[in-house]
Structure 1
């Protein structure tokens, strides 16, 4: 149980002082782990002993165990400050390491080849993964024909699979926190006969066996919210690989798109 759920479950059995301490925990839940136990006790106006008793009443040995609990929640993608904001150099180094890991994945050339040679490409993503999927679709559409995105806002994904076959590729972007029906969708995608590329953070490895190609891409989560710098860099590398494969048609398509932009006055 999450710490807020534990507080709710044990609330009636807490002493008045422990309830006061619990209220302070709930007020500072978003940045709880950035405090020390003594600071939380001072904020609540209770003794350190009372705060320690509250932790034990909630099933935690001490505040260090509360921190580990919060790190576990952060590891599932839940926005939560755990260790405070890092300095810029530390954050930049972590971002750089994530991007390098993503771009060094050994199967990226294979994926780029599949995307370049497929008859049709369907890119799928939900929740936080949708912007990555949409960006991938937009970049691929510059380099090749017939690239679709799903789900279209307000629509479902089932109809997008009908008609796909062995000459097609389905790219599923599945970073945490993923929809519960992801497994069923991957099974249905494989059943079409199309090649299925699954791109996700390490927590998606449980679904890897359902895909033709599994591409692990780390998320950087030093801050409260996940950074998608590495996935976006991966998208750029894949699109570049597709454009390089289409040495003649790709540049001609880019020029045609640019001319259309100019005629319509859509971009500066």
Structure 2
């Protein structure tokens, strides 16, 4: 992976002229929204000439500021929070979210995932980092629709012991959005090796891992904002849980009622 722009500045700082260092300091000050400026605006902010700013870009290994923009877009595509297109149009963002939700929900593989999860002996839902809240939400919903639904990893725990009892007839639902832990493919291979069915839900960057899964569900997370959005992901797991509830029929409805009665006896919810 090529060095990020801040790493390039640190590497070349000693060789920069005083004016180029001044320009580099301005780049670092505006790193979070760097691509929202034009090269001339950055030069004015730094109090240097446009020629100095251009020389700095070349010293850092970029042909021009357009290449810097492409570098920042590549970081955003990899999941690093970056604003690359100026102040976002929130109405356009909302429309993009709605389109992402529709794409996520209109996948024929969703029906297969519902069938696997509804009929499994045991379901284990796994998610690390930014995938963990989505996994937690799915586990909470599935626990109303059917029994023996586990979440991994639990706080302070690893997942090795969660795989020990899995086998044919079980399902592992793996949530894997970008910036996954480095051991992610190894875990998928281990999960598939147990004989359990694997449902993999992730953004397009997880597609290379889909060969390890029984069912692949794709869900976009990148929008117009700096941070990834999980609106489509939450809708998708909601649809998955709803499908399991419907597929499980009367037994699921009786389970839901029983859980609600327990809430009332324990006075756990308002």
TM class, shorter-length: over 0.9
d(CA) in 2 for partners of 1:190 and 1:97? 32
Which one of 38, 63, 66 corresponds to residue 64 of structure 1?
A: 66
Q: Which residue of 2 aligns with 1:154?
A: 156
Q: Which ranges of structure 2 fall in alignment gaps of 5 or more residues?
A: none
Aligned to 1:255: 257
SS, match of residue 128 in structure 1: helix
CA distance in 1 between partners of 2:223 and 2:32 (Å): 15
**Residues in 2 aligned to 1:220 and 1:41: alpha-carbon distance in whole angstroms:** 31
Alignment of 1:232-247 (within 5 A): 232-247=234-249
CA deviation string 1:208-257 (max 9, x = no partner): 11111111111132101000000000011000100001111111111111
The residue aligned with 1:172 is: 174
Q: Does the 8 Å CA contact 1:173/1:199 hold for their aligned counterparts?
A: yes
Q: Secondary structure at the match of 2:249?
A: coil
Quote the Cα distance in structure 2 between the aligned partners of 1:191 and 1:47.
Answer: 61
Whether the 8 Å CA contact 2:93–2:223 is kept in 1: the answer is: no
CA distances 1:142-193 after superposition (whole Å, capped 9, x unpaired) = 1000000000000000000001110100011000110000111011101110
- TM-score, structure 1 as length reference: 0.98
For residue 136 of structure 2, what is the aligned residue in structure 1?
134
Aligned pairs, how many? 268
| TM-score normalised over the length of structure 2 | 0.98
Aligned to 2:42: 40
**CA distance in structure 2 between the aligned counterparts of 1:259 and 1:223, rounded to whole angstroms:** 42
Correspondence for 2:191 among 189, 192, 215 = 189
User: In the TM superposition, what are the counterparts of 1:204-243 in structure 2 within 5 Å?
Assistant: 204-243=206-245
TM-fit CA distance, 1:84: 1.9
The answer to whether the 8 Å contact 1:219/1:231 transfers is: yes
Runs of 4+ residues deviating >6 angstroms: none
* Aligned equivalent of 2:78: 76
Task: Report if the CA contact (8 A) 1:202-1:218 is conserved.
Answer: yes
Q: Which runs of 5+ in 1 are unaligned?
A: none
Are 2:7 and 1:5 aligned?
A: yes
More displaced 10-residue stretch of structure 1: 110-119 or 56-65: 56-65
